[in-house]
Structure 1
Amino acid sequence: MNERKVHAVSNWQALMLVLLRVAIGWHFLREGMIKLSKPNWSCAEYLQVSTGPLSPAFKALATGGGEALLTVEDIKDLPGLATSLANMDDPLAVRFQEKMHDDTLLMADMVASGSPPHAKLPAKLTADLNSLLKGEVPYTEKTAKLFAKIDLPKALKRQALGNPQGQKRVEVNRRILSAVYPKHLPALKTNKLLPLANFTTKWGLTLVGLGLMLGACTRLAALGGMGFLVLFYLALPPWPETMQGIDTMTQLAHPLWTALRQPGREGNYLFIDKNFVEFLALGVIGAFNTGRMMGLDSVLGPLARRLCPCGKRPKSDGDEPTPAA
């Protein structure tokens, strides 16, 4: 007779496993709900400070293959752009001039007067434009009239009025600037993968959290949560080679890094961090199938077996009752 070993779990052990499942579920649910409550939330900033083995892929996902900040090579018509920015009769140009350096404006005025561009103008103009991209969004309810003649997409206007932050703000400003000067600045490539990543992260965390808290499809929820944790771990792994020599530089470039790696904030990890520990905990939850101990799986499991008889284990010869002698 084929016998299956059954390891009994005491009521106390079952209670602790269920509490562990609910606690991790609340963590996932809370993270997902917070992100859903912020319309302009994006995982781009988190991806851009990644340092793990998948860092190139994560950073490419954040930028969509196109960098929002400008380079000297991006300026297609330097004399034309300089002349447009030096135009005192253009309210938008005047607004941009307020954020530019005096020497850059002087060089632009010289170009507008017919002089050849100064050798330093491309670099200085690019630096000033990038400062504009990182600064406040020029399109607001008060300045909407200035853009009356500019064909800005409605979606871009909504994003601008939503007070975007970080990398999202840079991208919005770049799209606005490219719309104002389409002949001089190339349009930013549309990132089609980042919105999908944002949607998957927000709703994935929420659904995993609900599944774990309710004990519904517990093993599937645990597997999904483990998948998220693997990605989170590989984005910022606590490995010596990914943590040495980058703290100061990265903190200056990305304020988010300070929150992620601030000494004393979450401990001093080495190889093992909270994502790794939570990954193992979800493995335990899935292995014991705690949803059947206390959760909706105790109802959904038998119902699924009734509706899908193909999942029933066929009887073997050893399962047949032995006739009496």
Structure 2
Amino acid sequence: MDGFLLVDKAGAMTSHDVVAMARKKLDTKKVGHAGTLDPMATGVLVLGVGIATRLLTYITDGKKAYEATINLGSATHTDDKDGDVISTATAAQIAKVNDEVITNEIAKFVGTIKQRPSSVSAIKIDGKSAHARVRAGESVDIPERDVTIDEIVVKEIRHTATAIEVDVSVTCSAGTYIRAIARDLGERLSIGGHLTSLRRTLVSPFTLQDCQSLANAPLISITSVIEKLFPIRKLDLSQSREITFGRVIEQNQQSGIVAALDSQDNFLALLENKLQGSQVMAAPILVKVSE
């Protein structure tokens, strides 16, 4: 059983919960996901089944898009609404922050920036996730890393006596933490900030429109997905046999990684041109093994 599930994840469950449910639904242990979503977050979660789990890395590294709401006026230890409040601004401090200041500060996040992930992220530190270390009472300090934010659109700003709510849409690189944007915006404005809602709308090339609830999501063939990720090369019977045994064949016409299909459009392998002696040949870097 090989393929993909395009899931619109509900709130109040972890990505691991969804994987566990998919394993039960499909009666297989070979299920993984392309990028963690926090329990609070909803939206696009791509699951790989069988050999497709080995293709998830090519999806995980793609662009992401989110719809989010940032609460300005208080900060939490998790940088989202599920955490404990660690600071609160006064009404007078909040009143001094107007829409122009907010939009100007948000614009400064666009581009390649240094970002410090939340201490309760899924990032592994010496083999253990940061959030597990925090829950165990450890102090965690994750180094800054480069992320690229292509666009942040401010959709609406709402003011109350105790907070400012900012609805934004964000398009960004893999590895970007929207919670960190909320935290850093609050720090720049000196009133604190955290995330109150998050919905992922894109895991390139898949959008929310491609997704369904886990209960209704069909298993999609590898071929239908691989065509959106890589150039396609059709192999004849002889070439297919060579690739199946891990041997090289005549070089690809395209550069980079190419997906190889057999004569019946079944996914066989990922190929990449490599120098073999004095010749450039197409070598398999991943082969679908028949069980």
Establish whether TM, by shorter chain, passes 0.5. Answer: no
Which of the two has greater helix per residue? 1
TM-score relative to the length of structure 2: 0.27
Which of the two has greater strand per residue? 2
Q: Which has the higher contact order (CA 8 A, sep 6+)?
A: 1
TM-score relative to the length of structure 1: 0.25
